[in-house]
Structure 1
Amino acid sequence: MKKLVRSFGFAFKGLRYTTTTQLNFRIHLAATVLAAAMGFLLHIATNEWLWITLAIALVLITELINTSIETLTDLVSPTYNTKAGHVKDVCAGAVVIAALFALVTGLVIFLPKLILLVHHAA
Structure 2
Amino acid sequence: MDLKDKGEVGKNSAFLDSFKYAFKGILTAFQEERNMRSHILIGSVVLILCVFLNLAINEWLWVIFSIFLVIIMEVWNTVIENVVDLATGGQCHPLAKKAKDMAAAAVLVTAGFAIIVAALIILPKLWQILY
TM superposition score category, shorter chain reference: over 0.9
1:101 to 108, 113, 130: 113
Greater helix share, structure number: 1
Does 2:51 align with 1:51?
no
Aligned match of 1:23: 34
1:38 and 1:44 map into 2 onto residues whose CA distance is 10
Equivalenced residue count is 118
**Identical aligned residues as a percent:** 35
- Counterparts of 1:53-68 in structure 2, within 5 Å, are 53-68=64-79
Greater RCO, CA 8 A, separation 6+? 1
- Tell me the C-alpha RMSD between the 2 structures: 0.9
Q: What stretches of structure 2 of length at least 5 have no aligned partner?
A: 1-12
1:42 counterpart SS class: coil
Any unmatched runs of 5+ in structure 1?
none
- 1:84, distance to aligned residue in structure 2 (A): 0.2
Query: Structure 2-normalised TM-score?
Result: 0.88
The list of structure 1 runs, each at least 4 consecutive aligned residues, that deviate by more than 6 angstroms after superposition, is: none
> Is 1:114–2:114 an aligned residue pair?
no
Q: How far apart are residue 57 of structure 1 and its match?
A: 1.3
Q: Which amino acid aligns with 2:81?
A: E
TM-score, normalised with respect to structure 1 = 0.94
